[in-house]
Amino acid sequence: MLRAMETTEFVLDTSGRQLVDLTDRIAEFCSGLGDGLLNVFAPHATAGVALMELGSGSEADLGELLDRLLPRDDRYRHRHGSPGHGADHLLPVLVSPSLVLPVVDGRAELGTWQSIVLVDLNRDNPRRHVRLSFLGTA
């Protein structure tokens, strides 16, 4: 049997950052909620959420990978904003704007090295929303 959904939304400033670690905020939200599923959603056309290891050089590796896959130049038909902004609109094809995590006893079930991050390459809009929705079992 399912119980009512718990939802919260917070706003981040991503100025000068491509990655923002959401793990602690998500742990705080899940604390005391019991068992269920957590949906993490970035309601933006130019940002996504991902699971990855942090602090091991992976952040720079991801930045380099995205630079290779989505170069910031004038090749895109979507051309408003800063140079290469069309690449920002393709990011959610590679980094989903949402993910679902199991929650057991009020804790998101992450692997040993997994963190939850917001990925945002868009220099034109540093104000980002992240919505957390928890659907628990009764």
Domains and CATH numbers, the chain: 6-136 (2.60.120.460)
Residue with the larger pLDDT of the pair 135 and 3 = 135
Query: DSSP strand E in 5-138: where?
Result: 6-13, 19-21, 36-41, 47-52, 98-104, 107-108, 115-120, 127-136
Q: Give tens-digit pLDDT for 79-136.
A: 788 888 898 999 999 999 999 999 999 999 999 999 999 999 998 889 999 999 999 9
Contact yes or no for 39/30 (Cβ under 8 A): no
- Average pLDDT, whole number, for the chain? 93
pTM of the model: 0.92
pLDDT of residue 35: 94
Q: Distance between CA 132 and CA 25 in Å, rounded?
A: 10
Reported as a pLDDT band with limits 50, 70 and 90, residue 1 is low
pLDDT of 4 above 80: no
